Structure 1
Amino acid sequence: MDTEIELKYLVLGDDIPAVITNLLNQLKYPFSCKTKTLANCYYDTPDLALRKADIGLRIRQNNKGEIEQTIKTSGITVGGLHQRPEYNISLGSANVNLALFPNDIWPPTLDVESVQEQITALFDTNFKRMTWLVTMPDNSQIELAFDQGEICSSQSRELINEIELELISGDASSIFILAHSLTSVIAMRPGTLSKAARGYGLVFGRTESHISSASTVLAFEPSMTILESFKAGFSECLSQLQQLVSQFVAEPNLHLLKEISDSLALARHGLWLYKDYLPSDKADSIRIQIKVVLAELAWVETARQIRELTTKKGNYRKKIEYSKSLLAELKNEKHQLIDFEQMIKLLHGEAFNLLQLSMLEFILNEPESEEHKTELLDLAPSWLSLNLDTLNKAIHRDKPLTAAEYIDNHHLIIRSLLTGSWFGGLYDIEQRMDFRGPWLDIHLGIDELETLTLLKGHLQGSSEEIPQKLISWLDDKVENLLCALEHCKAAALNLQPYWLK
């Protein structure tokens, strides 16, 4: 048995082999290079018994006629890093023979003889592989592979254009060093799905869960220590981020960009919450990297607000049509803001890749000291209370707030909600949602208030005479929204915190 330690990337661009070879020569890393053609067929039973057991089975043939059957059992995938036990058996013919594998690799609940009787071919992955066996400065050896081809089923096809970095020998940190260098010359993004997973998706349909920042609650166990919970939460943030990027690349839209921004904000908030328990130099470096990427996404919220104002199905479109020039101005501004092609470049670019590598290295490498072995439940209530106390001081119970005051305090509400996203999963879900509901309503209400404030700014800066109907409607809308926010505020401030019950 071998345990693969791999980083996988999906790549954009042409002439990738030449780019890789030139980079290795510039870095003066010794390497040998070879090319082969691989034909792979993946198998399972009609009821997907292997897939349900998190097992992958393939038969591979190369251009020399050599045949090998492989089993990959359940492993770990974090941020594009794949670690899975792998078993390889040479064959004389391209026929599955499960009896050749060791008996102890199978889950006790799996009937191997029944699987053998029912086994059938599902899909193929056929590609040309160019590999560089690279010797790193510390003498670690890494196999860098570029695969180009396609996944084929009877119904459809999907292109393969990816890089894999596999540790052959030495220190696993050498993979990250080489990956850092690759990000400077190749447009790429972490591949969180294996070829097998993509093939299953091609045959049976791929259904990725909808991610909503408003409902995100990180999965923690009460028995976790401080550092265990940070690593679990930060890992979930990274996985969520990469899933959202994958969805955006497949179908670019403003909603997904906003969720990407919110996912980054959740990760950054974790660095702030745990700052007393993390190495400040590493945490500060990642926080700065997140800040840089968030700055590139800063336009998204304004574009979303303008879309809400101008879309034909939006709440405000009919009112804004009182002023044709205003509608045209807003549409023009939205057009100037939105550049999805530039966002694709950002999400495949060096800065974003280095951020994800930094997050992954932080998750994998940070050791736990004795002073950090305090249980999470001993500290989570104090973190939740601290954020709520800050919020209570800013949002007075008995004093109505103006639109400007609500907007000025929006960041405090977001911060409190993010803290709840980190630690709320430790508590009863119904009590948590009852408490969180009014605060989420306030958050959404301020979002709408910011949209109306944007519209007001455009009205005040307009050179044409604005119809009185539009001005009166806007004033009424703001007044009604403030009234609703005050009701939500009263309800929120009267609720007992779920973590103190």
Structure 2
Amino acid sequence: MEIEIELKFIFNEDFADNLYQTLNKWHCISSKNQFLHNVYFDTAERNLRQLDMGLRVRTIDEKSVQTIKTAGKVIGGLHQRPEYNEPIEGSRPELARFNSKIWPEDSDIQALENALIPIFSTDFNRQSWLIEIEEDTLVEVAYDVGFIETNQGKVPLCEVELELVKGDEKQLFTLGKQIAQIPDVRLGNVSKAQRGYMLADNATFPIKKLVHSPIDEKLSIKQALLVNLQHGLKQLQYHENCYIENKTRETLQEFLQGIKFLHQNIILFKSELENFNKAPWIEDLHWLARSFSWLDEYFTHARLLEDKGFYLRKSPKSKLLKATIKHQKQLLPNDDAIITILKSSRYCQFVLTFTQWLIQLEKSTFSGDKSNNIKAFSVNQLDKTWGQVSLALKNNDALTAEQFLSFQGLIESSLLTGLSLGNVFEKQKSDAFRALWLDIKQGLDEFSMINIISEIAQDETDSVLRQDYLKWIKRKEESLLSALHQSKQQALRKTLYWQEEQN
């Protein structure tokens, strides 16, 4: 068995010369150029996929090797996965050649082998270089250009992989940071096998709502921080890839949620890790947040225009109003501007630096004593966060729309705190508590919509039309305020689930 440790970059072959120039700066021990034909196998029911295994037969110069990769992990663009390799004759897998320990107990290996069928193939030309780096480190750089093909069609493949052959893992990142400076390059957290399965199954990347981080009460505070940051980065990268693939703005809404989740965890854990605020990736996270800060405004405009502007149907001059809102929406950054950021060297360097920092944090020794337990920490943080919300809202029985909106950021931060720490408590109670506050958040989103109309009304030169707009706005606000006050009262009476478990 080998543990494959590699950085994977999605590349643009237009910049191949930049790659060659970058690699020429390093000591190259050897290089070669090969054509690789790979066939990936599974059963029709995807039994191997369900076991988180990938099986391929690779043929180079008429010699075949079967490889099976078992469950591993991906952090940022760093892939770590156990793999088993065995030479075979022909192009059909021979599962009995693999170490029997990789299979679940009571597996019928022969029956599994008999049921195997080709799922997809990858054919690509591979240029590879064995690079020697300081501290006795060897890294193999592979530049692959070709196609992934199934009976559903084929898609282009262009990747650069940096695999640690031996030595210090940190040196992998040293070389990676230079490759990240090449234009139009991104860290890849989706493998060739994942892309092949999706093509074979005619699947797309669905939008995934940000959910609770999978921490549990047995973790130390620093271990929980690690899990949370990995959770946020995964949300970010997954929806980055979604957007690159399908260009739908709804994916960016969850991309932004990933940014906000990471930022909330900096606030929550800033005093628990020495020099956390000075981590080398934080400034770039703030840059990313600024770069996509317009998205909240974009989705406010989008909600106003949903269902052919159904929300505005009884507003004065609704057609004119919809045209004005549509124009404002079109002034916000377009797809080209978004792609420029996501394929920028700065964004790639951010993910790479963040990944390296997470790997180093993972290798740290964490205390597991009771005083450093995440559950006690979670109780304290949830008390603090929701205490601020309660203090702000409890003594205000007649809040105006502006006052409600002034608490929008506080409520959103509190909901993100729940997603960061709530998993250590009973999920059913946590979800019931969140539901009421999510209703309030939805109401505040509607206030943001009304604000857009209010701004348009203030700029209206026709005094009669302006007054008509303001009357419509007032009716909307009064109705919404009534509903929000009722939701607020119910939410404030709700038992605090984290305190209930302490009693």
TM-score, structure 1 length as denominator?
0.93
Task: Indicate conservation of the 8 Å contact 1:219/1:425, yes or no.
Answer: yes
> Is the partner of 1:492 in helix, strand or coil?
helix
Residues 1:221 and 2:216 are matched in the alignment: yes
Distance 1:253 1:99, change over 3 A: closer
Q: What is the number of residues matched between the two proteins?
A: 496
Distance 1:369 1:53, change over 3 A: closer
Task: Indicate conservation of the 8 Å contact 2:3/2:80, yes or no.
Answer: yes
Distance 1:8 1:476, change over 3 A: same
Q: Distance in 2 between matches of 1:74 and 1:284?
A: 30
Q: Distance in 1 between matches of 2:488 and 2:273?
A: 35
Q: Distance in 2 between matches of 1:66 and 1:198?
A: 25
Q: Distance in 2 between matches of 1:131 and 1:441?
A: 55
1:402 aligned partner: 400
2:87 aligned partner: 90
| Cα deviation code 1:31-77 (max 9, x no counterpart) | 54322110011112233332222222211112x22221112122222
The letter of the residue matching 2:386 is L
CA drift of 1:386 comes to 0.3
1:181 aligned partner: 178
Q: Distance in 1 between matches of 2:119 and 2:253?
A: 37
Q: Distance in 2 between matches of 1:284 and 1:402?
A: 40
Q: Distance in 2 between matches of 1:231 and 1:314?
A: 43
> Is the partner of 2:308 in helix, strand or coil?
coil
Consecutive unaligned residues of structure 2, counting only runs of 5 or more, are: none
The letter of the residue matching 1:93 is G
The letter of the residue matching 1:231 is L
Q: Distance in 2 between matches of 1:61 and 1:83?
A: 23
Q: Distance in 2 between matches of 1:389 and 1:32?
A: 62
CA drift of 1:284 comes to 4.5
Task: Indicate conservation of the 8 Å contact 1:293/1:351, yes or no.
Answer: no
Query: Sequence identity of aligned pairs in percent?
Result: 28
1:7 aligned partner: 7
1:440 aligned partner: 438
Residues 1:384 and 2:382 are matched in the alignment: yes
Q: Distance in 2 between matches of 1:414 and 1:282?
A: 22
Distance 1:441 1:31, change over 3 A: farther
The letter of the residue matching 2:393 is I
Structure 1 residues 32-431: aligned runs within 5 Å:
32-62=30-60, 64-206=61-203, 208=205, 210-213=207-210, 216-280=211-275, 283-320=278-315, 322=317, 325-366=320-361, 367-370=364-367, 374-431=372-429
Distance 1:299 1:121, change over 3 A: same
> Is the partner of 1:93 in helix, strand or coil?
coil
Task: Indicate conservation of the 8 Å contact 1:222/1:426, yes or no.
Answer: yes
CA drift of 1:28 comes to 4.4
Task: Indicate conservation of the 8 Å contact 2:222/2:272, yes or no.
Answer: yes
> Is the partner of 2:125 in helix, strand or coil?
strand
| Cα deviation code 1:12-47 (max 9, x no counterpart) | x3433311111233x445454322110011112233
Q: Distance in 1 between matches of 2:50 and 2:202?
A: 15
Stretch of structure 1 that moved more, 126-135 or 91-100: 91-100
The letter of the residue matching 1:8 is K
Q: Distance in 2 between matches of 1:28 and 1:82?
A: 23
Task: Indicate conservation of the 8 Å contact 1:8/1:191, yes or no.
Answer: yes
1:491 aligned partner: 490
> Is the partner of 2:239 in helix, strand or coil?
helix
The letter of the residue matching 2:90 is S
The letter of the residue matching 1:307 is A
Task: Indicate conservation of the 8 Å contact 1:8/1:165, yes or no.
Answer: yes
Task: Indicate conservation of the 8 Å contact 1:326/1:462, yes or no.
Answer: no
Distance 1:324 1:313, change over 3 A: closer
Q: Distance in 1 between matches of 2:392 and 2:22?
A: 54
The letter of the residue matching 1:221 is D
CA drift of 1:355 comes to 2.1
Task: Indicate conservation of the 8 Å contact 1:271/1:283, yes or no.
Answer: no
Task: Indicate conservation of the 8 Å contact 1:140/1:174, yes or no.
Answer: yes
Stretch of structure 1 that moved more, 356-365 or 216-225: 356-365
Stretch of structure 1 that moved more, 439-448 or 190-199: 190-199
Q: Distance in 2 between matches of 1:401 and 1:359?
A: 42
What's the C-alpha RMSD, in Å, of the aligned pairs?
Answer: 2.1
| Cα deviation code 1:91-143 (max 9, x no counterpart) | 33323222222323322232112122222222111111111222223341111
Distance 1:45 1:380, change over 3 A: same
> Is the partner of 1:276 in helix, strand or coil?
coil
Task: Indicate conservation of the 8 Å contact 1:39/1:126, yes or no.
Answer: yes
Distance 1:29 1:333, change over 3 A: farther
> Is the partner of 1:314 in helix, strand or coil?
helix
Q: Distance in 1 between matches of 2:300 and 2:251?
A: 15
Q: Distance in 2 between matches of 1:470 and 1:291?
A: 37
Task: Indicate conservation of the 8 Å contact 2:220/2:368, yes or no.
Answer: no
CA drift of 1:369 comes to 4.4
Task: Indicate conservation of the 8 Å contact 1:125/1:152, yes or no.
Answer: yes
Stretch of structure 1 that moved more, 428-437 or 443-452: 428-437
Q: Distance in 2 between matches of 1:120 and 1:419?
A: 46
Task: Indicate conservation of the 8 Å contact 1:226/1:372, yes or no.
Answer: no
Q: Distance in 1 between matches of 2:451 and 2:102?
A: 62
Q: Distance in 2 between matches of 1:268 and 1:379?
A: 18
TM-score, structure 2 length as denominator?
0.93
> Is the partner of 1:454 in helix, strand or coil?
helix
CA drift of 1:189 comes to 2.5
| Cα deviation code 1:408-448 (max 9, x no counterpart) | 12111111111111111111222212221221111111111
Q: Distance in 1 between matches of 2:396 and 2:94?
A: 75
Task: Indicate conservation of the 8 Å contact 1:67/1:92, yes or no.
Answer: yes
CA drift of 1:165 comes to 1.2
| Cα deviation code 1:276-334 (max 9, x no counterpart) | 22231565443322110011111111122222233453343324560655443322221
> Is the partner of 2:151 in helix, strand or coil?
coil
The letter of the residue matching 1:497 is L
Q: Distance in 2 between matches of 1:6 and 1:38?
A: 19
The letter of the residue matching 1:253 is T
Stretch of structure 1 that moved more, 415-424 or 116-125: 116-125
CA drift of 1:164 comes to 1.1
Q: Distance in 2 between matches of 1:223 and 1:49?
A: 32
Distance 1:340 1:302, change over 3 A: same
The letter of the residue matching 2:42 is D
Task: Indicate conservation of the 8 Å contact 1:227/1:372, yes or no.
Answer: no
Task: Indicate conservation of the 8 Å contact 1:123/1:151, yes or no.
Answer: yes
Q: Distance in 2 between matches of 1:464 and 1:255?
A: 36
Q: Distance in 2 between matches of 1:154 and 1:464?
A: 62
Task: Indicate conservation of the 8 Å contact 2:220/2:367, yes or no.
Answer: no
